[in-house]
Amino acid sequence: MGQATALTPALSRRSGRGGNTQHPSAPALPGGGRGPGDEGERQRRTQSAVPSRTGIGLRFQHHREVLETRPDVAWFEVHSENYLGGGPTPATLDRVRRDYPISLHGVALSLGSAEGLSEPHLARLRHAIDRFEPGLVSEHLSWNVVDHAYLADLLPLPMTEEALAVVVRNIDHAQTALGRRILVENPSSYLRYRYSPIPEWEFLAEVSRRTGCGILCDVNNLFVSASNHGWSARDYLAALPPTAIGEIHLAGHAVRDFGDGRVLRIDDHGSRVGAEVWELYAEALRRFGPVPTLIEWDTDIPPLATLIEEARRADEALADEIHGHATIPA
């Protein structure tokens, strides 16, 4: 597959300088916010900050338990679209937010849509950001909107110059509308376009360089896609700019063996983090340093205690990295 760290000729011609050069119009503060403000604003920003520890995805099944027991969890992440309306669900997040930093993780911006972003959706998301003051806001490198119809999946993009221009334009628009930097997550994928000349890792790094957005490095997605397509997961990690990494996701995945030598890994978020993903996570920490990490679990959701147990395993790896010797959690 060649050297993962070398830009394709087309990207090299357009890129100019290497490295994580921030787009001049991108918001400057990596954690959000648009300036120093007054003391109250600085205090709110400090309270919103997501620490370099492990959080868990907050799911509806665990709302009551979290409110009643206030578990020892560093932070929570929620799917943005579940909290954009009125009623008891956003009110629950208001209560959680009093005790914990939170992150908003979106699935509906459709950053790869050639028709652009939905202005009403951006307005609702901006309102949620103003209300909940998340420490991090993230979305996916994918598309799921066409002709104003939403598709119930995160669909992969062709890695082309045309798609790159669309994604850059949409991220610039989103960051301006939301008044903050966002993180963009690498996808999990099962098929590739026949014409997709830019390696995914180069595409993602270039998106970050051109827009100033951060990268949400989903280590499970990376492992799943690398396994399905025959990539080197370690070369992929090595190609990502460390200064752009704002968050890491960990999750379980399913394995389908077709019995004829073909194996497909499916990013279903329905089990504990696999041993291979823990190993890759330790390598990611060695490259990127301590980064806020999330345990995702979206299907066959277990008791809250199981998620907390997984988070503690990741926290052990983070602590090892802080002390200079990242290891694979036992």
Residue 10 confidence (pLDDT) above 70:
no
- In sequence order, what are the beta bridge partners of 264? 256
Q: Where are the domains of the chain?
A: 33-250+289-295
Q: Distance (Å, rounded) from C-alpha 55 to C-alpha 78?
A: 11
pLDDT of residue 327: 60
- In sequence order, what are the beta bridge partners of 250? 295
Residue 38 confidence (pLDDT) above 80:
no
pLDDT digits (tens, 9 = 90+) for 210-232: 999 999 999 999 999 998 889 99
Architecture of domain 33-250+289-295 in this structure: Alpha-Beta Barrel (3.20)
Provide mean pLDDT across the span 237-259: 92
Identity (one letter) of the amino acid at 4?
Answer: A
pLDDT of residue 61: 96
Q: Distance (Å, rounded) from C-alpha 287 to C-alpha 240?
A: 9
Provide mean pLDDT across the span 79-84: 96
* Whether the Cβ atoms of residue 177 and residue 141 lie closer than 8 Å to each other: no
Provide mean pLDDT across the span 195-213: 97
Q: Distance (Å, rounded) from C-alpha 187 to C-alpha 184?
A: 9
Q: What mean pLDDT value characterizes the chain?
A: 85
